[in-house]
Structure 1
Amino acid sequence: MSAQPANPNVPPDHVSIEIDGVPMTAPKGSMIIQAADKAGIPIPRFCYHDKLSVAANCRMCLVEIEKMPKPAPACATPVMDGMKVATRSDKALKSQRNVMEFLLINHPLDCPVCDQGGECELQDLSMGYGRSISRFAERKRVVPDEDIGPLVATEMTRCIQCTRCVRFTGEVAGTYELGGMYRGENLQIGTYDGKPLTTELSGNVIDVCPVGALVDKVYQFRARPWELIARESVSFHDALGSNLYHHIRRGLVMRTVPRTNEAVNECWLSDRDRFSRDGLYADDRATVPMVKEAGQWREASWEEAVARSAQILRENGADRLGVLVHPATSNEEGALLARLAEAAGTGNLDHRIGQLDLSDAAVAEPFEMPVCEFSTADVVVIIGSNLRHELPLLHARVRRAWMSGAKVHVVNPVDFDFTFDVASKRIVAPSRIANELAGQALRDAANGGSRAVVIVGALAENGLHAASIRKAAREFADAIGARLCRVPQGANAVGLTRLGVLPASRDAQAMLSDARSAYLLYGIEPGLDFGDIPTALRALGGAQVVAFSHYACASTRAVADIILPIGLLPEIDASMTNLEGTIQGARAGGKLPGYARPGWRVLRALGGEINADGFDFTDLDGLRAGMQERDVVPAAGRAPDADGAGLEVAVSTAIYRSDATVRRSPSLQAHPLNIAPRAVVNPEDAGRIGISQGDTAKLATRDGTATLPLEVSAKVAAGTVWIERGHGATAPLGAGRVELGRA
């Protein structure tokens, strides 16, 4: 007897099912709730989340299935060919209403004052599935709250034990910091040890919590959801460009939440992107144009400040002028800066302010592997990067690849903490990274993958040996058939590169080591943002400086002659180009403080003052219409001097000291990951020098000295001292080897 012919309308590896009378197909092995969601058929749920494993413990998604005597959870019941499901039958609705009644037995009735009110999943579903009165007359249980850090507030009496937060910290964050304690009605969600959350993704537990048990501690009680206006924006703290919404109340950014984009950040957001909003309203925010006269600052009108800035540009044109741009500057501002430099006749224009070795004329390049494919990589090689702090959400994708069987190999000067196991690691001094990549042993270990990727991070890109590491990484990737992904050093480094914010003559280091008579600084905090801060401050201190600035900080006031206050990304309409080369737009949300203006408007006024070409537009649309990519190939810079006595320096950026806005966020500065500045050395070096854990060490370079607490750890390669930049205490060191001794 012949086999039954296959249904031509059913795709391969799919089955035919029916939900609420609607015929459809669904992939084999998928769950009923997934098929219903795809068809737009609503099924109530609390514990189910499409990015987390199935727990099936809330039972809110019970549905009726033909020929099954009992209702079944839609989140944990696989589809089967010919299955007929009813989500709104009497049996299904009765089951869902009974579950809702049980959930509300112990839930506090504080909806009118609850800080989750108006955006609570339990509140919404109880309106449709809850009873008008409660049959429960006993006392409700009370769960003590737990202090889990400066970012997330707890109201655990509201918890319905959906375990979404537990699964998030275990599966996505990889820190396993939350779990269930006790049993039955005594079950509680907590951290076991009472310590604060240390994951860099902790704010996402706020989003996944369907009730008000975990809420934004910084935003709590400051506004109601119906008072807020959402504005689309992107992150400007790393090159991933996470998509997000700023929630605005009366012109103030009250909170930041993720905006789903599966190709970039999925539905997650790093704590740095979520909580840095505090920094927008720092006390030293630049709010009014200022000019310096006889060493004293005074407020000025925009007309006076722009006219004085134009005078400095006219008096110091051509090679006497240097234009230094922060790599998180928007595309629109970058395009105008390139035009302004051209009008001033200078080729001294650069955004690569943190990179010390540009002897290979390296520029930011888009990733060769799309971010969404990192989760399916089978071989990942991480070179010179604390990836977990540098790109938290990319690190999470690498973790997912590891959970699927990928092999991760690491070449670093520091054995950084990751949330995945590594198949091999080579912890060597920065000068030896290139040699390790050229070695056959590593190539053999990393070979054999069909979806291999090599990641080169900030520690490699910004160090004294960057050029040799970039060359070796390219050869290594070609040898194992991997795609090379060099992390752009700045949120918009790729966009600024495309728009020609690059030197036709002197690069950033060259125009600082050989000081110019005048500088235009754009969005830079001079005392903390440069790769070689002592050299930068010496050059700026002896020149005339026009500072387009978000903050009137002490270091800006020390070197600048004019401060022009400009808006940050959450306050302006702009576009940014992320590490994939994708242009993403941001809408103005928060109001500009005081007399600050969008940077493009100030640049337009300055360009008009010096009669420059390309500044005759009247609005942002006119500016964008004239924007075009520039093919600028920068000349190779001078190789830095990496020789000398002392220890090599491995410099990474502290996770919450990466830019001026993050550094001014009180909540992030209180985070456990924000560790005080210190010097970390290998035990061999500590024993040889005669210093030990807890000592105060003196570090000396050719440019300056610093006094830091000493930490001794075998995680640091021998012959290396590891410090984190972004702190005032480490800024005086500059570049070069370090002589280490007891203070």
Structure 2
Amino acid sequence: TRCIQCTRCVRFVTEVAGVPDIGMISRGEDAEITTYLEKAVDSELSGNVNDLCPVGALTHRPWQYHYRPWELKKTETIDVMDALGSNIRADAKGAEVMRILPRVNEGINEEWLSDVSRYAVDGLQRQRLDQPYVRENGKLRAASWDEALGMVAAKLNAAPADRIGVIAGDLQDAESMKAALDLFRALGSANTDCRQDGSALGYGPRESWLFNSGLAGVEKADAVLIVGSNPRTEAPLLNARLRKAWLAGTSEIGLIGEQANLTYDYSWLGAGSKTLAKLPKAAMDALTKAERPAIIVGGGALSGAGGPAVLNALGALAKKVGAVVDGWNGFNVLHTAASRVAGLDMGFVPAAGGVTAGDMLKPGALDVLFLLGADEVDPTGSDAFRVYLGSHGDRGAHGADVILPGAAYTEKTGLYVNTEGRVQMAERVVFPKGQAKEDWAILRALSAMVGHTLPYDTLDALRAKLMADHPTFGRIDYLPAPGSFDPGSLGKKGDLGDSAFASTVRNPYLTNPITRASVTMAELSALRIAPVAMAAE
């Protein structure tokens, strides 16, 4: 009854989201805005229509009856559900984060926010780890901090340096990864990796793993080649920018990888590496003739054994078509993990003689495996003593011998670097649950017990060390200028073979421990899977 039929919601869903699922039916006093054929709105940006509604006719059902707006404490922070670093405001009531809303940042998320970032908030309360656990006689039992850390310290001290390793997860802040890197390097271990997906990135100039044109800058590209990525599921807000450029008629878009409905027209060039080895003439001509060509590289192209060869081929292509020139750098890596760029910037990759995350998980590879919020790998195949430091009882905690409860991203102040290399600071909204501590503080306490005390006692001291060792972390809210580098030197030359590029995000609603703990995300995932199952029948 509140609707004034302004059709703002219809225009957003049709024009910005690119999914014409709602409209106005009937006439006169019977006119109403509704979905067609009783179908759910199939968009990753649907929650934005509530922000657009001028009269409050649209409300957020997951938050209904849970709070009054004036009861909430508001904190401006950063989203970590993808690698874009969307600016958000987190509203809390007591010890619980109740809702997430977007903040305006024209360079990153404009005024929009993806549904995952907005509605996964209920996952912050469920399946939480709130006290340490140790495994005894095959079963986990609650333990004190001293007992849990003592057991981990004893195992670390007893194991040879080349038999211990650490894998960092996708939601980690830069401070926790820096503390872990310093600790394991002090122990003499070269086995450190932040690339859970097995990406070939991490060696070479910083520009080799950044989205160099900038998220806003990609709208200026007049020819775009997407390789091994599905921007609609991996970065919905970037996909909206690509749609904007397509609507304006300023950009031709080509895709190598899985075909999908990206909400705009594109030329499908092929499924994988065979196409990349010999790009169709029309696509090559479009890139060569373009004034500002751009290549968007997804994790689906760079993971696996052929990743280095694919990276080398993409670098050679970028050099051939002039994607990296003075004043323009169109070589863009689209990450899906909020922690990935920060990890690569600080060198959280295997050192000389070290092994990758995939090799650490093999039977007999290590004696002690430390999972720093690493939940996108399967640790059950490893026979090492497994330690999990994280916030949720997810994959990493299953089978762990010691569980150390950490803080979620809304429960700590931390630095994150988005896919374009912009350093941003997330603020604490509420305090950690139960006996949980901030990740860096746990690692600092552990370092003292293993006899390699880290040289910082406060978060400020840790940040000072981080910025001294890696000055890029001191440039808060600074978008790096498009730096020039030689893309032809990336990766390693090799046979590309004939492998298909598949997006690393198979289900955008279940990408991390927080989303997998969310009831709302489970319902959205079911809605996404249901039409596929019906089509198969």
1:675 and 1:555 map into 2 onto residues whose CA distance is 26
Q: For residue 361 of structure 2, what is the aligned residue in structure 1?
A: 512
1:5-16 aligned at under 5 Å gives the runs none
1:545 aligns with 2:386: yes
Choose the corresponding residue for 1:496, options 343, 346, 361: 343
Cα 1:361/1:664, change in 2 over 3 Å: farther
Task: Tell me the equivalent position of 2:86.
Answer: 242
* Equivalent residue letter for 2:442: V
Residue aligned with 1:342, SS:
helix
Q: Distance in 1 between matches of 2:202 and 2:465?
A: 33
Write the deviation string for residues 86-108 of structure 1: whole angstroms up to 9, x where unpaired: xxxxxxxxxxxxxxxxxxxxxxx
Contact 2:312 2:493 in 1 (8 A): no
The residue that corresponds to 2:326 in the other structure is none
Question: Aligned-pair distance for 1:246?
Answer: 0.7
1:244-643 aligned at under 5 Å gives the runs 244-282=88-126, 284-355=127-198, 365-422=209-266, 424-428=267-271, 430-437=272-279, 439-482=280-323, 483-504=330-351, 505-513=354-362, 515-525=365-375, 529-530=376-377, 533=378, 536-539=379-382, 542-553=383-394, 556-558=397-399, 560-617=400-457, 619-628=458-467, 629=469
Q: Distance in 1 between matches of 2:139 and 2:29?
A: 67
Amino acid at match of 1:310: A
Q: Greater relative contact order: 1 or 2 (C-alpha under 8 angstroms, separation 6 or more)?
A: 2
What is the rounded CA distance, in whole Å, between the counterparts of 2:14 and 2:459 in structure 1? 45
Secondary structure, in 3 states, of the residue corresponding to 2:310?
helix
Give how far 1:158 is off.
Answer: 1.1
Corresponding letter in the other structure for 1:603: L
Q: Shift in Å at residue 638 of structure 1?
A: 11
Q: Which has the higher helix share?
A: 2
| Shift in alpha-carbon separation, 1:235–1:433, aligned structure 2, 3 A | farther
Look up the match of 1:219.
Answer: 63
In structure 1, how many angstroms separate the alpha carbons of the residues matched to 2:494 and 2:78?
Answer: 35
AA at the equivalent of 1:588: R
Shift of 1:375: 2.4
CA distance in 1, matches of 2:390, 2:493: 30
Does the aligned pair in 2 maintain the 1:382–1:408 contact within 8 Å? Answer: no
**Cα pair distance change 1:473/1:641, threshold 3 Å:** closer
Superposed displacement of residue 272, structure 1: 1.0
Indicate the larger mover: 365-374 or 252-261: 365-374
Q: SS at the partner of 1:625?
A: helix
Distance of 2:219 and 2:337 partners within structure 1:
23
Structure-2 separation of matches of 1:639 and 1:509: 22
Aligned to 2:485: none
Check whether the contact 1:376–1:401 (CA below 8 A) recurs between aligned residues: yes
- In the alignment, which residue of structure 2 is the partner of 1:133? none
C-alpha distance after superposition, 1:69-100 (max 9, x if no partner): xxxxxxxxxxxxxxxxxxxxxxxxxxxxxxxx
Deviation of residue 210 (structure 1)? Answer: 1.5
Bigger Cα displacement from structure 2, 412-421 vs 356-365: 356-365
Q: Tell me by how many angstroms 1:551 deviates.
A: 1.8
Question: What is the SS of the residue equivalent to 2:38?
Answer: coil
SS at 2:36's partner residue?
coil
TM-score w.r.t. length of structure 1: 0.64
Identity of aligned residues (%): 34
Cα 1:277–1:626 shift into 2, 3 Å: same
Q: In 2, Cα distance between the equivalents of 1:362 and 1:352?
A: 17
Q: 2:484: which partner in 1?
A: none
**Does the aligned pair in 2 maintain the 1:357–1:638 contact within 8 Å?**
no
The alpha carbon displacement at 1:651 in A equals 5.4
Q: Residue 670 in 1 paired to residue 523 in 2?
A: yes
1:433-463 Cα offsets, whole Å, 9 max, x none, are 43144x5442113332223211011221224
Provide the rounded CA distance (Å) in 2 between the counterparts of 1:518 and 1:336: 18
- Please give the secondary structure, in 2, of the residue aligned with 1:193: helix
Write the letter of the residue equivalent to 1:511: M
Distance in 2, Cα, partners of 1:667 & 1:419: 24
Task: Report the aligned-residue RMSD.
Answer: 2.9
Structure 2 matches for 1:151-190, cutoff 5 A?
A: 157-190=1-34
Matched AA of 2:361: L
Cα separation, 2, equivalents of 1:639 and 1:304: 50
Deviation of 1:674 after TM superposition, in Å, equals 5.7
Deviation (angstroms), 1:358: 6.6
Question: 1:648 & 1:405 partners in 2: Cα distance?
Answer: 30
CA distance in 1, matches of 2:26, 2:528: 34
Give, as a single letter, the amino acid of the residue that structure 2 aligns with 1:469. V
* Contact 1:607 1:615 (8 Å CA) reproduced: no
Deviations 1:665-717 (A, max 9, x none): 11122126864499x9xxxxxxxxxxxxx8xxxxxxxxxxxxxx9959xxxxx
CA contact (8 A) 2:309 2:495 kept: no
Shift of 1:479: 2.2
Instruction: Spell out, residue by residue over 1:98-123, the C-alpha distance to the aligned partner (whole angstroms, 9 max, x if none).
Output: xxxxxxxxxxxxxxxxxxxxxxxxxx
Secondary structure class of the residue paired with 1:626: helix
- Closer/same/farther in 2, CA of residues 350 and 159 from structure 1, 3 Å limit: same
1:671 is paired with a residue whose SS is helix
How many residues align? The count is: 507
Which digits, 9 at most, give the CA deviation of each residue in 1:449-508, with x for residues without a partner?
Answer: 223211011221224432222222222222222211011352121111112212112222
The Cα of 1:183 is off from its aligned counterpart by: 2.9
SS in 2 for 1:652: coil
Please say if residues 223 and 287 of structure 2, whose CA atoms lie closer than 8 Å, have aligned partners that are also in contact. Answer: yes
Q: Aligned letter for 2:147? A: E
Q: Give the alignment's TM-score, normalised by structure 2.
A: 0.88
Residue 476 (structure 2) aligns with: none
- Alpha-carbon deviations, 1:18-77, whole Å to 9, x = none? xxxxxxxxxxxxxxxxxxxxxxxxxxxxxxxxxxxxxxxxxxxxxxxxxxxxxxxxxxxx
> Is the CA contact 2:165–2:192 (under 8 Å) kept in the aligned structure 1?
yes
What secondary structure does 1:453 align onto?
strand
- Give the alignment of 1:194-205 within 5 angstroms: 194-205=38-49
Deviation at 1:615, TM superposition (A): 3.7
* SS, match of residue 184 in structure 2: helix
Which of structures 1 and 2 has the bigger CA Rg?
A: 1
Tell me the distance in 1 between the aligned counterparts of 2:10 and 2:35: 9
Render the CA deviation track for 1:304-348: whole Å, top value 9, x for unaligned.
111111112111241010111113310111110111111211010
Distance 1:358 1:180, change over 3 A: closer
> Cα–Cα, structure 1 residues 640 and 272, in superposed 2: closer, same or farther, change >3 Å?
farther
Query: Does the Cα contact within 8 Å between 1:575 and 1:584 map onto a contact in 2?
Result: yes
- Residue type of the alignment partner of 2:314: A
- Residues 170 and 374 in structure 2, CA contact (< 8 A), matched pair in contact too: no
CA drift of 1:566 comes to 0.4
Letter in 1 for 2:519: P
- Cα shift at 1:383: 1.0
Query: Which stretch of the first structure deviates more once superposed, 458-467 or 272-281?
Result: 458-467
**Deviation at residue 515 of structure 1 after TM alignment:** 1.2
> Quick one: which amino acid aligns to residue 652 of structure 1?
T
- Match of 1:507, as an amino acid? T
Paired AA for residue 463 in structure 2: R
Deviation by residue 1:125-148 (Cα, 9 ceiling, x = unmatched): xxxxxxxxxxxxxxxxxxxxxxxx
- Structure 1 distance, partners of 2:420, 2:412, is 23
**Secondary structure of the structure 2 residue equivalent to 1:345:** coil
Q: Distance in 2 between matches of 1:250 and 1:345?
A: 43
Q: Distance in 2 between matches of 1:217 and 1:192?
A: 20
